[in-house]
Each structure stands twice: as C-alpha cells, then as structure tokens.
C-alpha cells in the first residue's frame, strides 16, 4: 500500500539527505524545496522521484556540489557558469540574478551553461511572480525527440515556461515540455498494457507506432509537428548555442552517461511590469482577462475552463493538507538513501493515513 | 489564367497605391515591403492579398495613417503607442526601437499598443537578424480560437516568432500561428470540396468537425491542445494586457468591425549576441547545430530535414527570379485599387510569363 508523507517533513528529509551527501545546508534546502514544490503541484515526474538519480550522480562525481559558480554581469545580460553544480542550485542562482537585473534595468537576461537537470521551471517562476516580475524560463535537455522528418532522437523535450502574477486568480504559470506528451504517459500505457494514440511516438526505425513498448525503444514526437520541433530548437539555441553550454547531442543523458557531466543550459528573461503600468493596474487587467475566459460557454461535459497553472495551484493547496503520496518504488529508493545517510524516512509520514 | 508579377515592380505598385491613399512616401514603402516580403517568402496569406483590406480600412478611417506615434522610453523598456497608424509602420518603428535598446543595453523590450494587423513577424525578424540581434516578436489578434474546453472563439491565433542569425545557413526564422493550422487551409479544403482532419476545428456548437464548411462557421483549434491555448494566452498577456492594448475580445476583427480601430498589441524582445560571445563564434556554433540536425537519418520518403525558415528562404530566392504569381481574385482587387489611385498594375507584370 502506498503511503502519504507530510510535505514539510518530507522536505526536511530531502534536505537532510542532500546535506549529508555533500551539499551545503543552504543548497540542500534549495534542492529539497524544488523537488517538494513539484510534488505539491502534482508534477510528480519532477518531484522526489528524482532524488535517486541526483544522489547517484553526486556519489559518482558526475555532479560537483561544492564548485563555485562563476557570474559575469554585463549590463542587463548575465552569463552564469554553473560549474557542474546541482541543477536546482544553479537555477535558483540564475533566477535571483535575473530578478536583480530586471529590477535594476526593467529587463534582465541570464544565460546559464555547465548546469544539470534543474527540476520544474515553475519552481523559479513562482519566485519571480512573488516579486511581480514576468518571466520566461527555458532549458535544454538530453536527446529525446527526432527533428521533423527524422527517425531518432536529436533534440530534447526542452521545456518552455512563462509566469505572470495575477490579482485574485492563481498565478498564470505555463510550464510545458515541447513534446506531444510526457514520456511518462507512454510508460504508464506500457505498464497498463494499453496502446497509445497515433502521433505520440515513433518506433526505433522511425515509424509511427501505437505500441507503447515500441515507442519506449523509439522516440517521443514534438508537440504539433514542425511547430514543436521549431520551438524545441529555439530553446536549444538560447540555452545551449548562445550560452556556450551543450546543445543537441552535447547535452548528456543523466541516466545513461556516467563519464561526462550533463552540460545543460538554461535561459531566463525577466520583465518588470512596473515599467509598463502600475502593478495593481496590470493585476486588474489580467484578472479581467482570466475572468472573461473562465466565463466562456463550455463544451458539454466540461465543468470548468482552466487557466495554465490552476490545476497545479489546487493540487498544492490539497497536498499541503493531505500529504504527498509516494509510489512504493520511490518510497523504497528514498528509504535506502536514508539508510546510507542515517536519516529516517518514517518520520516524514503523514500522521493520518 | 493567373499571371506572374515582378517583385520590385509589384512593390513599387503597392508603394504608389498606399502613398496615394494617404501614407507618407516612407510609410507607403514600409507597407509595400512588408507585403512583398511575405509573398517572396511564400507566405501569400500575408502578402499583397491584404492590400484590399488595409486600403479599405484607411478609406473608412478605421486606420489613421498620419497619426504621430508616441514613444516612451524607460531604460531597456519602451512603450510605443501606435495611435492607430498602419500596422506594419508601427511594427517597423517598434523593431527599430527594440534594436536601438538592445544595442545600448544588451536587451531591449518594446511593448506596442493601439496598433493594427502588422503582416508577418518574419519581416521584422529579418531586420534584426541583419544586425546580428536575436529577437522574439509576438502579436495578439482578433478572436479565432476557443479556450480548451470552450466552444467559441475567444483568443486569437496570436503569432509566436523568433529569429537568430547563422553563418552559412539561411537565418533561423520561426514564425508561426498558435493554431493547429492556418484558417486558409480550411478555406482551401472547402473550395476543393474536401474534408479536414479531426483536430483542426470545431463547428459553431463546439463539436469536433471534419466538415470544412462547418469548420468555417465555427472555430480553429489551438495547436497541441492546451499547450497552444496557453501559448496564445501568454502572447495576449504580453502584447495586450501588459502594454495597455486590447486583449481577448477587445482586439477587433479587421474584416468585421467597421466602428472601432483594431487596437492590436505587439511585443518585441531583443538579445545582443555579443554580450554572450563574439558573433562569429555564435555563428559557428549555430551552423554546427544546424549541420548536425540536417545530417540526421531521414524517414523513408523524406528528402531533407529542414530548419525553420529554410523553405521560405528558398521561396524568396526563387520568386525574386521567377516573379510572384497572383490569384485572379487578388489581381482583380489590386487592379481596382490601382484604377482608383491611377496606378497601372499591368506595368508590374513579369515580362516573361
């Protein structure tokens, strides 16, 4: 039976493990926050399930949690060399630099090289939104999707994200992979013995397939065909080509490559709302926009028109109260790492199951 | 029989018509360039076919080609009030302001309010690319697509565009509507009596339809479902909500609304490559990236892996030589406007048909 964990206690557990694995207390807290935030928002694919691989890469010296990052600021533009630190530690630093530049200049751009998998983009957007800054966050990723017309993975499912504050609504948070679906959905179909819809994936020979097992040997397709392919490329151009980081095949797979660091790149663009209009006026305007969309007539069977980030916001409210349910496999992995570092996962259990 | 027109002469014809319709010589040239550039690139939907509606809106005083635009610069951020000038005149001004700010500060943002339909985004990107500036251009548009779960148009097919210079390759130019397909493709299917694939459109009651005539009475669907819906919204938030322009239902349809100006908003973000690395290094890196993508193994039947902007670049080379072929309807409309303003379309014909 799966069990539920208290989010604060589970965050403390993760912080403790990462601290004992060699991260500073502050950095361990950042990593733990990023993971738990994903679970709270219902994006379990980027939650504590990733602890295992992060810890293993630290252990195998594929990540160097004590390296000093290098910051070069030139006016509104900052180049951050992550020096192969933990991805979310680098991401948080980039976000802080982007916020500082944006507040000073009206806009701020931070390009990041030499990074690792940095969790969900939404984690960084939320910090910007608290400060009434509109922000884009992009990251490249290791090869998963073929170019349009190709048959094997070349580009990553490079995430595209954007956040804006609101008045009475949950913040507007768009955080999406540029693939048609998350690979996790194909894994789920496989586990259930179900087929997948045409258009999700190619088999290893580059043919369209509805067979989940063949799809897992092949590649995930970009969203909306050539449009998703192009969006993924632009993210690679900004995050990888322009920053001096890896791009295309030079972004290494964190599960498969145990020789080289990942060399992921990220790209942050901040925009100061107050340069356009008072923040409260903006918030009234965006609320009006969202009110009007939500009031649109709905298809039969649809209860509500949702705005990006709304489902995740509700999940967060709910899971803060009810706890975070962990699959048995994830619980087992955390328990094992807990033993290695002498931290007890049982203490993080939600009292009422 | 359709006929081919010389691109330079056709541009001169358009310039002459728009000048006689009340635009300054310089502005008339900008509008003509923007239209012809679209035709050259093969994007005929945004080419001289639009002259008719632009001229009609000028004639009906729905556009005010002699209004003075108002520029407010605050550091890296510029707010441009287009004052209901011609869209492409406003767009060009915005692009110039964005380039100037980017060169001065490393990044430059221009939000535009009070504008009109401004043609293809690619026209502006090309200018930025010539100056080795990476640029995003967004625009909102009048209501065409339902929100996910909705049944009638609320958001526009708000275009998303991005350009970056290259070394040996054609420039990287992504310029796409956030809809699954252009409405023009549905019109084409209707004209041929063909059905359309599921997923392109809803009928007027909000049901999925493969009947092109029902689709034309209904609404075009966003690309990639909720992802396209969210992308279209973010463009509206930047171009409309943040700039103080129209958004959602406050962006008026240029074909249907003869009472109010369109009040379209645009958003430009420029990034100076040289703040990250020498431009020639960037160009070598992006060439390597594109070389590697193009060398990927291809699906059977696919001759070549293409990069965004490549087809349009080739079209431009070809049409500069071979001329621009105009549908009879468009030729007729141009001829009529030519008569009104005493400009002879026949003189723009390509000598060899």
Question: What is the pTM for the complete model shown?
Answer: 0.97
The Cα A125–Cα A119 span in angstroms is 12
Do residue B124 and residue B253 come from a single domain?
yes
Residue A199 is assigned to a structural domain of this protein: no
Put simply, the chain B residues between 274 and 303 with a CB less than 8 A from any chain A CB are: 275-277, 282, 285-286, 289, 292-293, 296-300, 302
CA distance B36 to chain A (A): 24
Q: What is the DSSP string of A101-115?
A: HHHHHSEEEEEEEEE
Residue B205 is assigned to a structural domain of this protein: no
Verify whether the Cβ–Cβ distance A306 to B228 is below 8 Å.
Answer: no
Q: Which of B77, B240, B249 faces A106 most closely, judged by CB atoms?
A: B77
- Residue A208 touches partner B, C-beta closer than 8 Å: no
Quote the pLDDT of residue B352: 83
Decide if pLDDT at A184 tops 90.
Answer: no
Verify whether the Cβ–Cβ distance A296 to B223 is below 8 Å.
Answer: no
Q: Average pLDDT in the A63-68 region?
A: 96
**Distances A309 to A177, A313, B205 between C-alpha atoms, Å:** 14, 6, 27
Quote the pLDDT of residue A118: 98
Q: What is the DSSP string of B273-336?
A: GGGTS-HHHHHHHHHHHHHHHHTS-B-TT------TTHHHHHHHHHHHHH-EEE-HHHHHHHHH
**Distances A153 to A157, A175, A184, A218 between C-alpha atoms, Å:** 10, 22, 16, 8
Quote the pLDDT of residue A185: 85
State the average pLDDT for chain A: 96
Decide if pLDDT at B78 tops 90.
Answer: yes
ipTM: 0.97
Quote the pLDDT of residue B185: 85
Do residue A168 and residue A44 come from a single domain?
no
Q: What does the angle CA B317 – CA B320 – CA B322 come to, to the nearest 5 degrees? A: 100
Do residue B20 and residue B149 come from a single domain?
no
Number of domains forming the structure of chain B? 2
Q: Which helix (H) or strand (E) holds A308?
A: none
Q: Which of A236, A244, A306 faces B149 most closely, judged by CB atoms?
A: A306
Do residue A22 and residue A157 come from a single domain?
no
Quote the pLDDT of residue A191: 85
pLDDT digit string, tens, across residues A259-282:
999 999 999 999 999 999 999 999
pLDDT digit string, tens, across residues A113-133:
999 999 999 999 999 999 999
CB atoms near residue A258 (< 10 Å): 13
Decide if pLDDT at B299 tops 90.
Answer: yes
Residue B175 is assigned to a structural domain of this protein: yes
CA A90, distance to chain mean position in Å, is 13
Decide if pLDDT at A353 tops 90.
Answer: no
Quote the pLDDT of residue B192: 87
Are residues B50 and B63 in contact, defined by beta-carbon separation less than 8 angstroms?
no
pLDDT digit string, tens, across residues A216-269:
999 999 999 999 999 999 999 999 999 999 999 999 999 999 999 999 999 999
CA distance A24 to chain B (A): 30
Q: In what order do the strands lie in the sheet with B208-209?
A: B208-209, B201-202, B219-220
Do residue A155 and residue A26 come from a single domain?
no
Put simply, the chain B residues between 240 and 259 with a CB less than 8 A from any chain A CB are: 240-244, 247-249
- Residue B148 touches partner A, C-beta closer than 8 Å: yes
Q: Is the dihedral of CA A233, A239, A241, A242 positive or negative?
A: positive
> CA nearest B80 in A: which residue?
A276
pLDDT digit string, tens, across residues A9-56:
999 999 999 999 999 999 999 999 999 999 999 999 999 999 999 999
> CA nearest A282 in B: which residue?
B242
Quote the pLDDT of residue B25: 98
Residue B288 is assigned to a structural domain of this protein: yes
Decide if pLDDT at A302 tops 90.
Answer: yes
CATH number at residue B126: 3.30.1370.60
Residues in chain B within 8 Å Cβ distance of A134? 237-238, 242
CB atoms near residue A305 (< 10 Å): 21
Q: Which residues contact A256 (CB under 8 A, 6 or more apart)?
A: none
Decide if pLDDT at A292 tops 90.
Answer: yes
The Cα B232–Cα B176 span in angstroms is 11
The Cα B132–Cα B278 span in angstroms is 11
The Cα A213–Cα B29 span in angstroms is 58
Do residue B233 and residue B131 come from a single domain?
yes
Do residue B158 and residue B104 come from a single domain?
yes
CA distance A259 to chain B (A): 22
**Distances A202 to A217, A228, B294, B305 between C-alpha atoms, Å:** 9, 15, 19, 16
Residue A186 is assigned to a structural domain of this protein: no
Residue B217 is assigned to a structural domain of this protein: no
Domain range for residue B55? 1-60+323-353
CATH number at residue A56: 1.10.1530.10
The Cα B131–Cα B174 span in angstroms is 17
CB atoms near residue B281 (< 10 Å): 13
Decide if pLDDT at A183 tops 90.
Answer: no
The Cα B345–Cα B336 span in angstroms is 9
Verify whether the Cβ–Cβ distance A289 to B237 is below 8 Å.
Answer: yes
Are residues B147 and B228 in contact, defined by beta-carbon separation less than 8 angstroms?
no
Verify whether the Cβ–Cβ distance A299 to B273 is below 8 Å.
Answer: no
The Cα B138–Cα B91 span in angstroms is 11
Residues in chain B within 8 Å Cβ distance of A77? 106-107, 271-272, 275-276
Residue B203 is assigned to a structural domain of this protein: no
Q: Which residue has the tokens 């009434």?
A: A132
Q: Which helix (H) or strand (E) holds A288?
A: helix A279-294
Alpha helices in chain B (DSSP H): 7-20, 25-40, 51-59, 87-105, 122-130, 183-192, 212-217, 226-236, 279-294, 310-322, 328-340
Decide if pLDDT at A352 tops 90.
Answer: no
Do residue B153 and residue B165 come from a single domain?
yes
The Cα B56–Cα A85 span in angstroms is 60
pLDDT digit string, tens, across residues B305-319:
999 999 999 999 999
Q: Which long-range contacts (CB under 8 A, 24 or more apart) does A22-29 make?
A: A22/A58, A22/A65, A22/A66, A23/A58, A23/A65, A23/A66, A23/A86, A23/A89, A24/A65, A24/A66, A27/A65, A27/A85, A27/A86, A27/A89
pLDDT category of residue A204 using cuts at 50, 70 and 90? very high
pLDDT digit string, tens, across residues B188-237:
888 889 999 988 999 999 999 999 999 999 999 999 999 999 999 999 99
**Distances A195 to A155, A157, A185, A192, A246 between C-alpha atoms, Å:** 25, 22, 11, 9, 35
Decide if pLDDT at A145 tops 90.
Answer: yes
Do residue A250 and residue A144 come from a single domain?
yes
- Residue B152 touches partner A, C-beta closer than 8 Å: yes
> CA nearest B305 in A: which residue?
A149
Do residue A76 and residue A137 come from a single domain?
yes
State the average pLDDT for chain B: 96
Residue A195 is assigned to a structural domain of this protein: no
Do residue B49 and residue B117 come from a single domain?
no
Q: What does the angle CA B57 – CA B119 – CA A137 come to, to the nearest 5 degrees? A: 130
Q: Name the residue among B141, B131, B133 with its Cα closest to residue B109.
A: B133
Q: Average pLDDT in the A207-219 region?
A: 94
Quote the pLDDT of residue A188: 84
Residues in chain B within 8 Å Cβ distance of A155? 293
Q: Which residues contact B308 (CB under 8 A, 6 or more apart)?
A: A226, A230, A233, B172, B173, B174, B175
Residues in chain A within 8 Å Cβ distance of B223? 223-224, 227
Verify whether the Cβ–Cβ distance B233 to A172 is below 8 Å.
Answer: yes
Q: Select the residue from A149, A228, A283, A285 to test the B interface by mutation, using most B Cβ atoms within 10 A.
A: A149
> CA nearest A284 in B: which residue?
B241
High-pLDDT (> 90) share of chain A, %? 94
Q: Where are the beta strands (DSSP E) in chain A?
A: 3-5, 70-74, 77-81, 107-115, 133-139, 160-164, 172-176, 201-202, 219-220, 264-272, 324-326
The Cα B69–Cα A177 span in angstroms is 39
Do residue B116 and residue B73 come from a single domain?
yes
- Copy the structure tokens of residue B302: 């696919």
Q: Which residues contact B276 (CB under 8 A, 6 or more apart)?
A: A77, A79, A111, A242, A243, A244, B282
């Amino acid at each position: 039976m799966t069990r539920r964990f208290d989010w604060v206690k589970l965050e403390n557990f993760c912080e403790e493990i990462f601290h004992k694995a060699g991260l500073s207390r502050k950095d361990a807290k950042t990593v733990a926050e990023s993971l738990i935030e994903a679970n709270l928002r219902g994006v379990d694919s980027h939650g504590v399930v990733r602890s295992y691989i992060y810890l293993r890469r630290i252990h195998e010296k594929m990540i160097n949690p004590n390296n000093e990052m290098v910051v070069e600021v030139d006016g509104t533009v900052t180049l951050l060399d992550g020096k192969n630190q933990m991805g979310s530690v680098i991401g948080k630093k980039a976000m802080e630099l982007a916020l500082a530049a944006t507040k000073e200049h009206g806009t701020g751009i931070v390009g990041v090289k030499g990074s690792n998998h940095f969790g969900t983009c939404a984690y960084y957007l939320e910090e910007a939104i608290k400060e009434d800054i509109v922000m884009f966050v992009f990251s490249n990723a290791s090869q998963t999707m073929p170019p349009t017309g190709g048959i094997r993975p070349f580009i990553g499912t490079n995430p595209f994200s954007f956040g804006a504050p609101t008045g009475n609504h949950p913040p507007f948070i768009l955080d999406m992979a540029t693939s048609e679906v998350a690979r996790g959905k194909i894994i789920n179909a496989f586990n259930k013995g179900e087929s997948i819809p045409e258009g999700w994936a190619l088999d290893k020979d580059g043919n369209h397939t509805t067979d989940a097992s063949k799809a897992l040997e092949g590649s995930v397709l970009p969203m909306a065909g050539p449009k998703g392919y192009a969006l993924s490329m632009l993210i690679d151009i900004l995050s990888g080509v322009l920053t001096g980081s890896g791009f295309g095949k030079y972004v290494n797979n964190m599960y498969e490559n145990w020789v080289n660091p990942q060399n992921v790149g990220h790209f942050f663009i901040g925009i100061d709302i107050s340069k356009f209009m008072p923040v409260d006026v903006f918030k009234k305007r965006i609320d009006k926009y969202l009110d009007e969309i939500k009031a649109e007539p709905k298809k039969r069977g649809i209860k509500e028109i949702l705005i990006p980030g709304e489902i995740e916001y509700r999940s967060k409210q709910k899971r803060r109260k009810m706890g975070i349910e962990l699959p048995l496999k994830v619980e087992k992995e955390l328990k094992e790492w807990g033993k290695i570092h002498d931290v007890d996962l049982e203490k993080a259990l939600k009292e009422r199951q």
